[in-house]
Chain A
Amino acid sequence: MKKVRLTTIMVMAFISLSAMSCKDAKTENSTNSEMITEEDHSKMNHDNSDGHHDVDKKEMAMNGDGNSQTILNDYFNLKDALVADDNAKAKELGATLATSLGKLDISKYTDAQQSELKDIMEDAIEHAEHISESDIKHQREHFKVLSKDVTDMVAITGTQVKLYEQFCPMYDGGTAWLSTKEEIRNPYYGSQMLKCGKVQREIN
């Protein structure tokens, strides 16, 4: 009796396995065709706005993909979202920042600087990724360490615009961040305590 049951189970399992693999193949096919239609769509869009697109591309190149300035811009956008208590926007901008951090071109720096920058980027990317998927309390926790990473990056890469390192003594035993403006807008408290903090250093 036991033997019979075992064989039936085996047979059934075999059948279900082969049935499942068939199903998998089918769904794969359907997603493929969907992807193709989507591709066609984007191609069509492409053709429609060809002229515009070239301009966009040029601007991108001017901005310098892989440039530390792009990282700073993305960092400041993220900071502004946190100042505005905007969890959803901060998620989006965290993801953008993670991408630009990953693209930093470190080839022009010395070996020591390169290894330092690698460490910084590795850490910063992780924080930016976390920001892209957490609630605002966690976003701010990660932003604290991220701010230190970006500040350390600036010490190596320099900055094209004047930066203000600001400091809030209340948040988590004292916490710093960077801003392009002298005026305090606190990303750790947002509307709760918008003006808590002071400029502790100017970076040129």
Chain B
Amino acid sequence: MKIVKIIALILLVGFVGIQFVPTDLNQSDTVPKTDFLLVNNTQENISALLQESCYDCHSNNTEYPWYNKVQPVAWFLEDHINEGKEELNFNEWDAYSNRRKNSKLKSIISQVKDDEMPLASYTLIHKDAKLSNSEKTLIIDYMKNLKETLK
């Protein structure tokens, strides 16, 4: 019984302890000139979808949920966001070469089509981020058009 108490105490202390480890927040007030939505002058209904479903992990500005205040959740999110931005950062769109834009568009199209993005672990909590079939078609057609203009 005593051991259980000690273990519980250690766990509690550890849990409280990690709350004090700081994380870097992915937040920025300015939208750079290279931003996807700015450069392509994306129409309102599609830009709203992209911001809702993609921008949290694929831009320099995340709208954090309340539970980001709790570790180790914040670490998990930080990791995801870093990985997402490395893969594709909509804010830096125009800094990509045409060749890379083409590659990115191809990946966006195939991932949205196959329901690989947005991630299931993300839409589980962000219900609004989940794309309906008609929303998927809207995004895919838009990206396909964009890809044509690049060629």
Contact = CB atoms under 8 A, between A and B. Distances in A.
Contacts of B16: 9, 12-13, 16
B97 A123 contact: yes
Contacts of B17: 12-13, 15-17, 19-20
A13 B103 contact: no
Interface in A1-37: 9, 12-13, 15-17, 19-20
B123 interface: no
Interface in B91-139: 97-100, 102-103, 106, 110
A119 B17 CA distance: 46
A106 interface: no
A145 B103 contact: yes
Contacts, number: 44
A145 B100 contact: no
Interface in B9-49: 12-14, 16-20
A120 interface: yes
Nearest to B106: A145
Contacts of B14: 16, 20
A55 to B, nearest CB: 39
A141 interface: yes
Interface string A162-191: 000000000000000000000000000000
A80 interface: no
A123 B100 contact: yes
Interface string A96-135: 0000000000000000000000011011001100000000
A149 B99 contact: yes
B85 to A, nearest CB: 14
A15 B97 contact: no
A20 B17 CA distance: 9
A127 B98 CA distance: 15
Contacts of A15: 13, 17
Contacts of B98: 119
Contacts of A123: 97, 99-100, 103
B106 A12 contact: no
B80 to A, nearest CB: 16
Contact of B20 (A17, A19, A122, A141): A17
Contact of A13 (B20, B99, B102): B20
Nearest to B16: A13
A25 B136 CA distance: 49
A20 B71 CA distance: 15
A30 B45 CA distance: 56
Interface string A138-154: 00010001000100000
Interface of A: 9, 12-13, 15-17, 19-20, 119-120, 122-123, 126-127, 141, 145, 149
Given A17-B20, A122-B97, A145-B102, 6 more contacts: A13-B17, A17-B17, A119-B99, A123-B97, A123-B100, A123-B103
16 contacts: A12-B12, A12-B16, A13-B13, A13-B17, A16-B16, A17-B17, A17-B20, A20-B14, A20-B18, A119-B99, A120-B99, A123-B100, A123-B103, A126-B103, A141-B110, A145-B103
Which 7 A-B pairs give the minimum distances between C-beta atoms?
A16-B17, A119-B97, A16-B13, A12-B13, A13-B17, A123-B99, A13-B16
